[in-house]
Every structure is written in C-alpha cells, then in structure tokens.
A and B are shown apart, each in its own frame.
Chain A
Amino acid sequence: DGRPKWDNKFQYILSCIGFAVGLGNVWRFPYLCQIHGGVLPYFIALLFEGIPLLHLELALGQCLRKGSIGAWTTISPYLRGVGVGSWMVSVLVSLYYNTVLTWVMWYFINSFQEPLPWSVCPLNENRTGLNEECYESTSVNYFWYRKTLNITPDVTESGTLQWWLILCLAACWAIVYLCTIRGIETMGKAIYVTAIFPYLVLTIFLIHGLTLPGATEGLVYLFTPNLNTLKNPRVWLDAATQIFFSLSLAFGGLIAFSSYNPPKNDCEKDAVTVAVVNCMTSLYASIPVFSVLGFKATTAYWDCLDRNIISIINEFDLPEESIMRQNYTAWISFLNSSYPEKIAGLKLKSCDLQDFLDQSVSGTGLAFIVFTQAIILMPGSQAWAILFFIMLFSLGLSSMFGNIEGVFTPLLELQILPKSIPKELLSGIICLISFLIALCFTLGSGSYWIDIFDSYAGSLPLLVIAFFEVTGVAYVYKIKRFSKDVKRMTGRKPNLYWQITWRFISPLLLLIVFVAFVTLQTQKPPSYAAWNPKYEGFPMKEEKVYPPWVLAICVLLALLPCVFVPLAALFHLIKQMCRSK
C-alpha cells in the first residue's frame, strides 16, 4: 500500500533494541546499581511499568499503521494531544542528545594522538610549571571542562560559541542525515552496524577489564546488595523514571517503528524480547564498567600510597625500595611511634581503597572523566580510547535513529510538504533546523543547559504521556477492543498479566510515581554544580541555585509536551461544538 516496510523481522527487532539500548545503559544503570546497591526496584518497575507499556506501544503502532500523532488521533480525536506530546518530547530530546554525541565524536577524533591529549597538562605561560587550573584538578578534568566544553562558571554566563564543537555538531547531524535520509530504508541498513558493534566492543572490554588488577574489587563492590537503601523512596522513584528513558517509552519512536510492520506480527513476543535484551545489556555493560572502575580505584590507591612513600623516604633519607606498598602500614606505625612530629609534619593523605571505590560518577562524568582516566593507565591506550568512543557513538546513534523517526514519521503523515517534494528534503530540513537550534548547546554554558533539558524535558513529560497512553487505551478505546485487535495480530488473546497491568497496575503506579516526583522536586530549590576555577573549594564543584528565569524555562520544558494533551482535547471539543451548531 505504498507504506515503507522493514526488509525483514530481524531489522525491526534490531532497531527497537538499538533505540532502547543507549548511552544510559552504559553510564546510568551501573551508577544506579552502585548507589542503590541492587537492582530490585529496577526489576519491579520493569515488570509492572516497562513491559506492559512497551507491548502497548508496539501493538498500537502495528495495529493502526500510523505514526504517533496519527495513531492517537485514530484511537480518539480527543487523545490527539498524546501523540503531539510524544512528538514534542522526541524533538526536545533529539536536540540535546546529538550534542552529547558531539562530545563523544570530539573525544574520538582526539584519540588518534600520542600521548592522549587528556593525559598531560599543558604548560603555563612562562613555561615554569603546569597550567594552574590543570594542576589543581586533574589533566582529565582540565581537558573535559576547559579544552572540550570551555565551560563558564555560571549558567547565566553564556560564553562564546566553541568552533570545534560546532564542527563536530555539524558532522554528527550529517551522519544522522546520512543514515535517516530515506526513513527506514536507509536506517534499516545502518542499524545492522550501529546496533551490533557495541556488543562486540563491550565483549572486548569485558575480557580486557577482567584481566586488569583491581577488577575483582570493583565487581565485588557492585554486586554486594545494600538492603538499607530500599527503604528510601527516592530509590524507587529513580528506578521508575529510569525505566522510561531506558526503554525509550512515550517517545513515539516505537509506535513509528512498529507501524512499518506487517499486520500479522507477534508484538507480544517482540515486546518481551526487547525488554529482556535491554535489561541483559545493562547488566552485561556493568561488568566491564565496574572492572575498569575497580582498576582505576586500585591504581589511585597505589598512587596515593606511592606519594606518601616518596615523602617519607625523602624526609628520612631512606634508600629506595625500603618501603613498599605491602609493608607500608608496618613502617607507618613504626615511624609514628618513634618520630610522631616528623610524620605529622609531612601531612600524609590517608589512603583508603573504599574511599576511592565510593567516588561514584554517572552520566557524562563516567565516560569523559573516569573512563578516560582509566584508559590512560592501560597499555595501548589509543586503541582502547578509539574503541570506547566508537562504541559510545554507535550506542547513541542507534537511539538517535528512534528519536528522529519519532519526529519524521508523524510529519510525513501530516503531509506538511506537498507530495512532489521528496522524503530526502524533509529529513534534510529536519536535520538542518535541529542543527541550528542545537548550536546554543555549543556555548560555554551549553553543558548546564543539557543537564536542564535532560532533567526536565526527559523525565516528567514521559510520565504524563505514558499515563495518558495507558488510560487512553484502557478506558477510552477499551481493553476488550484492544485485546481483540491484539488477538487478530498475534493469534491469541492477551493473558491475565497484560489485562491486569494495562487496566490497573500501570496507571496506578504511574500516578504514584508522578505525584512522588513532583513532590520531591518542589521540596528544595533545584541547584546545579558549577565548575568554577576561582572557587575556594576548587577542584570541588560549586553548588549554585538556578536564577528565576532559568527556573521558568525548566518549568516550560516540563510543561510544553504535557500541555498539548488537554489543549488538543479542548480544541477538538470546540470543533465538535461548532460543527453541531
């Protein structure tokens, strides 16, 4: 019927998996594991929120064979706003997600140098020592905050456009255009590479990571559950919101993907497959991440010991190799008892491995600061850096495909442009406009804005849209009718688990999570951590509060997708009333 379709089932499943498996699986899930000491809240959220919603979206798209806006209009014209809200979220997320890929690309093209640019500090002006900002923090921090972001000390100071980031941003949008130029025809071919390659690299890192010293400490640290944290409601909230972003629900991209399927396709099996693979990938990715973090903590601990040993040897004029790491504690206690004033005068830092392991980082910090530092310590660091950043790029790119499809498919169906204009032009226009808007993320304060977009546009609207999705299908379209549609497609009626979760558990859970989220957010004024070289506590980050106009933008970002739901319903109501008159 002229609608494009997938070349084969494998392409479709791979696209859904690629969309779901993204950067969050590598750098957010291990962090949550570490902080919350376990994955139980995550599994419960997956079982009662993630999988039901995933099945719902895939079945919806396959049955109605339209993108998000068209599908929701077909369900009920009053629910058109849900589709528009999904579309809006996809637009906002695409804008900032590609900027994160820009940073990955920047690090990638810098990985071809010997030595790696983030391993050495540059010299200061009169060449007597190292650059001060670099010396006080670390060379890795300096390369990230100064050489990459050129970050300003405050979100209100915009700084200038960083030309190197603009170049990388243009390249990233060009790559996205190249892969999505004709919709799923080109994207389906690209997904074979971008979805499978990260697994290869993860395996390589897994094997290498397990051979590193200190890997076992890291893994033991990760897998010891901490049952105390389960009492904290924040833990459950984080798990519930994380599951949305992890499975890429409520973006409209999954509806778009499944709308290109043949109508008789087992969407129930697909949904469970995608959810399980996403989960397994997160767990699989945590192993190399924690091996490398354990290795880094152990190396930092050894460095700390070595520095103390050197000061002691210098002070007491002892021969080299007299104090080793193994007998360090024995020597320290001996010297402390015999010469306590000298030891106190040395101001030795206390070295504790647990402290180094506790320094948990998530998000961009994990990839660009912690991991890059660990890579410097490995032999053959260029190769590891190149592999790592290509993997991150593929992970993010396959997620970008889903985001762009969530934007592209509804626009194509709304027929905004006349039929004579080819698809290539529409995708080109979308990529060009997104590139121009995303230029503001290349300013000095860009990374602060990306954090804002991530926390406000990528969290609350998803909850609201998902809630309306489930209640819309369960109570407006009616579950009986939906079950009949699913039976037509898969050949069997959805069983009790689906009925209960779609009707009661998921909407209730979503409502609770939404209320809890809003209450927790409004309890204290939102703040951010700024990188300010002139701060007294430097290299610690300075805690600052958002000024009112920034808060207004935050609220706007969170409300903009949500407001379309009632607006569209109202609009349709008015149209109906005018027509009946």
Chain B
Amino acid sequence: RISNVLLCNVTDRVSFWFVVTDPSKNVTTVPGSEVEAAIRMNQNRINSAFLLSDKTLQFLKITSTLSPPVEPSTPVWLIVFGVVLCLIVAGILFLIVAGIRQGKKKNKQSTERENLEEKGEVTVTVENGIPCEALDLKAGHVNGVFAADDERFTSL
C-alpha cells in the first residue's frame, strides 16, 4: 500500500531511497534482502509502472537477471544459406544440361557429316541435303498436284 512507502534523502535527479514497512507488524520495516528479492522478481512490473526500462531505472546493488534474446528454432542464417545454395546448384545444373545438349547437337551434326564422308566408295549424291538413298528414285512419288492438272495442258 502507498502509505507504507516512506521517502527520504530526495535529490536533484529523480533518485530516492525508500524503505517498505510491513503493515501487519506495525512499525518494523521489511528487511532489505526480502525487498531486493521482490524487486528482482518483479522488475518488469515496476519498470512498466514507471514506463521505464532496465537501462533507465536502476536499483543500486540489484543486478537484474537479463532475459535471453529470442532465438528462432532454426537460425536465420541457415535459411538464407539454404536459399543461396539452392540458387547456385540450380544455376550449375542448368549450365551443365545446356552444355550437354549443345554438345549432343554438335556431335550429331559432326557424326552425320563424318558418316557421309566415310562412305567414300559408294558416292552418295546429296540432293538438297537429303542423301539420295533416302529418296526412293525407282518408285517415284507421284505428285498429286501436278498429276491432277494433266488434263489442262493443251495437247499438241
């Protein structure tokens, strides 16, 4: 209760000594060690009552037990590291796959050219890039467009 807190030795800056009397035991003051223990346990409530913090409200001879900083379950840096590593690995895989595909294309082109050059004995005539063996020259393909127009030609 407020009436049980007596002030003395008030100075210029907001600092004061105080003792707490025990109402149940009349005049005797509560021993210092008990007051210290009570303050230590309720430092937060006292701070918020004065709208101050551990740094701005200091009780002489009472070192406050500091609350540990909040640490998330996975450290933040591990998450960032995971993101960075995923990006790097994705980039490497992309470049390797692109390189393999480019290599395969080049290989196909060069092996085709090599195959055509190897068959030197059988001269392969190339018609518009397609080896003539692929074209079935014996059985010609009848081009339907021209065939249909046969009647339109004037017969000599």
By a beta-carbon cutoff of 8 Å, the part of chain A in contact with chain B is: 105-106, 109-110, 112-113, 120, 122-123, 127-130, 167-168, 171, 174-175, 177-178, 181-182, 186, 313, 317-320, 422, 424
* CB atoms of B95 and A181 under 8 A apart: yes
Q: Would you list the 5 A-B pairs with minimal beta carbon distance, nearest first?
A: A109-B80, A109-B77, A317-B11, A319-B12, A174-B88
Docked Cα-Cα span, A343 to B135, in Å, equals 109
Q: Is B85 an interface residue (CB 8 A)?
A: yes
* CB atoms of A178 and B88 under 8 A apart: yes
* CB atoms of B63 and A167 under 8 A apart: no
Chief secondary structure at chain B's binding surface = helix
* CB atoms of A171 and B95 under 8 A apart: no
Docked Cα-Cα span, A320 to B88, in Å, equals 55
* CB atoms of A168 and B96 under 8 A apart: no
Q: Is B66 an interface residue (CB 8 A)?
A: yes
- CB-based nearest A residue for B84: A171
Q: How far is the CB of A192 from chain B (nearest CB, A)?
A: 15
Residue interface bits B87-99, CB-to-A below 8 A is 1, else 0:
0110110011001
- A112 touching B80 in the complex, CB below 8 Å, given contacts A120-B69, A174-B88, A317-B11: yes
Residues facing A in B92-142 (CB within 8 A) are 92, 95-96, 99, 103
- A181 touching B76 in the complex, CB below 8 Å, given contacts A127-B65, A171-B84, A422-B99: no
A-B contact pairs, 8 of them (CB 8 A): A109-B77, A128-B65, A171-B88, A174-B92, A178-B91, A181-B92, A317-B11, A317-B15
Docked Cα-Cα span, A106 to B84, in Å, equals 12
* CB atoms of B65 and A178 under 8 A apart: no
* CB atoms of A168 and B15 under 8 A apart: no
By a beta-carbon cutoff of 8 Å, the part of chain B in contact with chain A is: 11-13, 15, 63, 65-66, 68-69, 76-77, 80-81, 84-85, 88-89, 91-92, 95-96, 99, 103
* CB atoms of B84 and A128 under 8 A apart: no
* CB atoms of B77 and A129 under 8 A apart: no
* CB atoms of A127 and B66 under 8 A apart: yes
* CB atoms of B88 and A168 under 8 A apart: no
Docked Cα-Cα span, A174 to B69, in Å, equals 34
Docked Cα-Cα span, A318 to B68, in Å, equals 33
Q: How far is the CB of B118 from chain A (nearest CB, A)?
A: 19
Docked Cα-Cα span, A424 to B88, in Å, equals 16
Docked Cα-Cα span, A313 to B99, in Å, equals 72
Q: How far is the CB of B76 from chain A (nearest CB, A)?
A: 5
* CB atoms of A318 and B88 under 8 A apart: no
- A171 touching B81 in the complex, CB below 8 Å, given contacts A113-B76, A317-B11, A317-B15: yes
Q: A130: which B residues are within 8 A, CB to CB?
A: 66
Q: How far is the CB of A64 from chain B (nearest CB, A)?
A: 28
Docked Cα-Cα span, A288 to B136, in Å, equals 77
Contact partner of A318 (CB less than 8 A), chosen from B13, B65, B89, B95, is B13
- CB-based nearest A residue for B85: A171
* CB atoms of A178 and B95 under 8 A apart: yes
Q: How far is the CB of A5 from chain B (nearest CB, A)?
A: 17
* CB atoms of B81 and A181 under 8 A apart: no
Q: B76: which A residues are within 8 A, CB to CB?
A: 110, 112-113
* CB atoms of A318 and B12 under 8 A apart: yes
Q: How far is the CB of B44 from chain A (nearest CB, A)?
A: 15
Docked Cα-Cα span, A185 to B85, in Å, equals 23
Docked Cα-Cα span, A289 to B11, in Å, equals 46
Q: How far is the CB of A400 from chain B (nearest CB, A)?
A: 14
Please name 17 further chain A to chain B contacts, defined as beta carbons within 8 Å, in addition to the given A105-B84, A120-B69, A181-B96, sorted by A numbering.
A106-B77, A112-B77, A113-B77, A122-B69, A128-B66, A129-B66, A167-B81, A171-B84, A171-B85, A174-B88, A178-B92, A181-B95, A317-B11, A317-B13, A318-B13, A319-B13, A424-B96
Docked Cα-Cα span, A171 to B13, in Å, equals 56
Q: B13: which A residues are within 8 A, CB to CB?
A: 313, 317-320
Q: How far is the CB of A432 from chain B (nearest CB, A)?
A: 12
Q: B81: which A residues are within 8 A, CB to CB?
A: 109, 167-168, 171
Q: A112: which B residues are within 8 A, CB to CB?
A: 76-77, 80
Q: B15: which A residues are within 8 A, CB to CB?
A: 317
Q: A120: which B residues are within 8 A, CB to CB?
A: 69
* CB atoms of A186 and B95 under 8 A apart: yes
- A175 touching B95 in the complex, CB below 8 Å, given contacts A127-B65, A129-B66: no
Q: How far is the CB of B103 from chain A (nearest CB, A)?
A: 7
Docked Cα-Cα span, A110 to B84, in Å, equals 13
* CB atoms of A174 and B85 under 8 A apart: yes
Docked Cα-Cα span, A120 to B70, in Å, equals 12
Q: A313: which B residues are within 8 A, CB to CB?
A: 13
* CB atoms of B80 and A182 under 8 A apart: no
* CB atoms of A174 and B77 under 8 A apart: no
Q: Which of B13, B68, B77, B88 has the most CB of A within 10 A?
A: B77
Q: How far is the CB of A177 from chain B (nearest CB, A)?
A: 6
Q: How far is the CB of B59 from chain A (nearest CB, A)?
A: 14
* CB atoms of A175 and B103 under 8 A apart: no
Q: How far is the CB of A265 from chain B (nearest CB, A)?
A: 28
Q: How far is the CB of A131 from chain B (nearest CB, A)?
A: 11
Docked Cα-Cα span, A313 to B15, in Å, equals 12
Q: How far is the CB of B153 from chain A (nearest CB, A)?
A: 56
Docked Cα-Cα span, A318 to B11, in Å, equals 8
Q: B103: which A residues are within 8 A, CB to CB?
A: 422
* CB atoms of B11 and A109 under 8 A apart: no
* CB atoms of A175 and B11 under 8 A apart: no
Q: How far is the CB of B24 from chain A (nearest CB, A)?
A: 33
- CB-based nearest A residue for B64: A128
- CB-based nearest B residue for A124: B66
* CB atoms of A110 and B99 under 8 A apart: no
Q: A128: which B residues are within 8 A, CB to CB?
A: 63, 65-66
- A175 touching B88 in the complex, CB below 8 Å, given contacts A317-B13, A320-B13: yes
Q: How far is the CB of A4 from chain B (nearest CB, A)?
A: 13
Q: B80: which A residues are within 8 A, CB to CB?
A: 109, 112
* CB atoms of B84 and A109 under 8 A apart: yes
Q: How far is the CB of A381 from chain B (nearest CB, A)?
A: 15
- A317 touching B65 in the complex, CB below 8 Å, given contacts A171-B84, A422-B99: no
- CB-based nearest B residue for A108: B80
- A127 touching B84 in the complex, CB below 8 Å, given contacts A181-B96, A317-B13, A319-B12: no
